[in-house]
Amino acid sequence: MDLDYTEIGRRIAKRRKQLNLKQAIVEERADIGYKYLSSIERGFSIPSTEVIMRLAKALDTTPDEFLVGTSRAQDEEWKSIAQYLQTMDKKQLELAKSFLQWLSEQNL
List, for residues 1-48, the tens digit of each pLDDT value: 577 899 999 999 999 999 999 999 999 999 999 999 999 999 999 999
For 24, residues 6+ apart whose C-beta sits below 8 A from its C-beta are: 34
SS (H, E, C) 56-85: HHHCCCCHHHHHCCCCCCCCHHHHHHHHHH
CA 66 remoteness from chain centre: 5
CATH number of 5-104: 1.10.260.40
**Half-sphere exposure of 63 toward its Cβ, with a 13 Å CA cutoff?**
18
Of 18, 26, 25, residue with least CA distance to 73? 18
Residue type, 27: E
List, for residues 44-91, the tens digit of each pLDDT value: 999 998 999 999 999 988 888 898 877 655 566 767 777 788 888 989
**Half-sphere exposure of 98 toward its Cβ, with a 13 Å CA cutoff?**
6
pLDDT, position 71: 61
- Which contiguous run of DSSP H or E holds residue 102? helix 90-104
